[in-house]
Amino acid sequence: MESTLESVELSVVVPFHNEESNIDHLFERLFSVLNRLNLTYEIICVDDGSQDNTLQYLITHHQRNPAIKVVSLSRNFGKEVALTAGIDHSQGKAVIPIDADLQDPPELIEELINKWREGYDIVYAKRHLRLDDSWLKRLTAKAFYYTIGKLSHVDIPANVGDFRLLDRRVVQALKQMPERTRFMKGVFAWVGFKQCSILYDRQPRYQGQTKWNYWKLWNFALDGIISFSNIPLKIWTYVGFSLAVFAFLYATFLIIFTLIVGIIVPGYMSLIVVVLFLGGVQLIGLGIIGEYLGRVHEEVKQRPLYLIQDHHGFTKVLKSKSIRTSIPMR
């Protein structure tokens, strides 16, 4: 069934950044699943500043099938923001974000919907096996989930990506979270509601290259930890306190030593070690404060999260009422 405006039951949201080689195959598989499900649906495609023909292909598909709706952003804003733009434009009672490269098998949508109909508000698709990933990526992923699990109060589920089902209630809750550092894994965990997960094997990419590299992943991990934990900021009080206690003990020792043995002039080694060590510790502390401060700066600027270049297939265009909503350019 195609979407009718009055009531869309399911919105599938897909972010696209240079994915022209995946589009046809993606729609083919999506439609074969969606048409089986016997519900009204829309597919919201967000073009995240692609430089190839992704946008033209999407518009062609939209002209053939009005259930495909296209939002194009004014430049590349990154996957998390593209997803937010798509979710903001969705109308479905349930929303499913899915990657364009077919790493998340569309066939799972049926299982996600079944769980939703049982009454769950968030249904995670949890990765069973990471077929595509190197041992280094698996190891770093494990270290990341371990660290964030220890540092944060929010229980962030391991090995889930953005492929999941969200009930409208959850989407409504997300819209009330104005933060710019959008670590979605954490945000979804933070909102709560009734959650469950299903297991799946994540597939290798169908075509094209991943846009991630280790530097981006490292920054993504930092974003995650810093948005959901203040421990890196607070730890410096304790480091400073311990060093002060140590310095006091050492000073006591030196005073007693000087009283008993007398003044010994050579002290270059111990001095330089202490100076360098303290300098290093202070710089680390400053750096961490800087990481938080940089994010505070991002937040206080209050810029819109994304800008829309064009819409295709939306009769009702979003107004720019809150700081997070889009500003239509035309």
Residues of this chain that interact with Mg ion (CB under 5 A) are: 101, 103
Cβ of residue 210: shortest distance to ligand UDP, in angstroms?
3
When asked if residue 203 is in the footprint of ligand UDP (CB under 6 A), the reply is no
Q: Which of 128, 178, 204, 212 forms a contact with ligand UDP (CB under 6 A)?
A: 212
| Residue 220 to residue 212: CA distance in whole angstroms | 10
Q: Which of 9, 42, 99, 167 forms a contact with ligand UDP (CB under 6 A)?
A: 99
Q: Which does 19 bind (CB under 5 to 8 A by kind): ligand UDP, Mg ion, none?
A: ligand UDP
β-bridge mates for residue 94, sequence order: 10, 167
Tokens of 239: 């480091």
β-bridge pairing 10-16 and 160-167:
unpaired
| Residue 282 to residue 293: CA distance in whole angstroms | 16
Cβ of residue 13: shortest distance to Mg ion, in angstroms?
15
β-bridge mates for residue 69, sequence order: 44
β-bridge pairing 94-97 and 68-73:
unpaired
- Which of 328, 319, 320 has the alpha carbon at shortest distance from 302? 320
When asked if residue 100 is in the footprint of ligand UDP (CB under 6 A), the reply is yes
- Which of 251, 201, 100, 221 has the alpha carbon at shortest distance from 149? 221
Q: Which of 210, 219, 237, 242 forms a contact with ligand UDP (CB under 6 A)?
A: 210
Contact yes or no for 139/221 (Cβ under 8 A): no
Alpha-carbon distance values, 266 to 185, 251, 271 (Å):
56, 16, 10
Q: Which of 42, 101, 121, 167 forms a contact with ligand UDP (CB under 6 A)?
A: 101
Cβ of residue 60: shortest distance to ligand UDP, in angstroms?
18
| Residue 75 to residue 85: CA distance in whole angstroms | 13
Q: Phi and psi at residue 42, in whole multiples of 5°? A: -140, 150
Cβ of residue 124: shortest distance to Mg ion, in angstroms?
17
Contact yes or no for 213/141 (Cβ under 8 A): no
When asked if residue 125 is in the footprint of ligand UDP (CB under 6 A), the reply is no
Contact yes or no for 3/66 (Cβ under 8 A): yes
Among residue numbers 16 through 75, which ones bind ligand UDP (CB under 6 A)? 16-17, 19, 48
When asked if residue 79 is in the footprint of ligand UDP (CB under 6 A), the reply is yes
Q: Which does 144 bind (CB under 5 to 8 A by kind): ligand UDP, Mg ion, none?
A: none
Q: Which does 100 bind (CB under 5 to 8 A by kind): Mg ion, ligand UDP, none?
A: ligand UDP
Q: Which does 79 bind (CB under 5 to 8 A by kind): Mg ion, ligand UDP, none?
A: ligand UDP
Q: Which does 76 bind (CB under 5 to 8 A by kind): ligand UDP, Mg ion, none?
A: ligand UDP
| Residue 207 to residue 225: CA distance in whole angstroms | 31
Cβ of residue 177: shortest distance to ligand UDP, in angstroms?
20
Cβ of residue 212: shortest distance to Mg ion, in angstroms?
8
Site of interaction with ligand UDP (CB under 6 A): 15-17, 19, 48, 76, 78-79, 82, 99-101, 103, 210-212
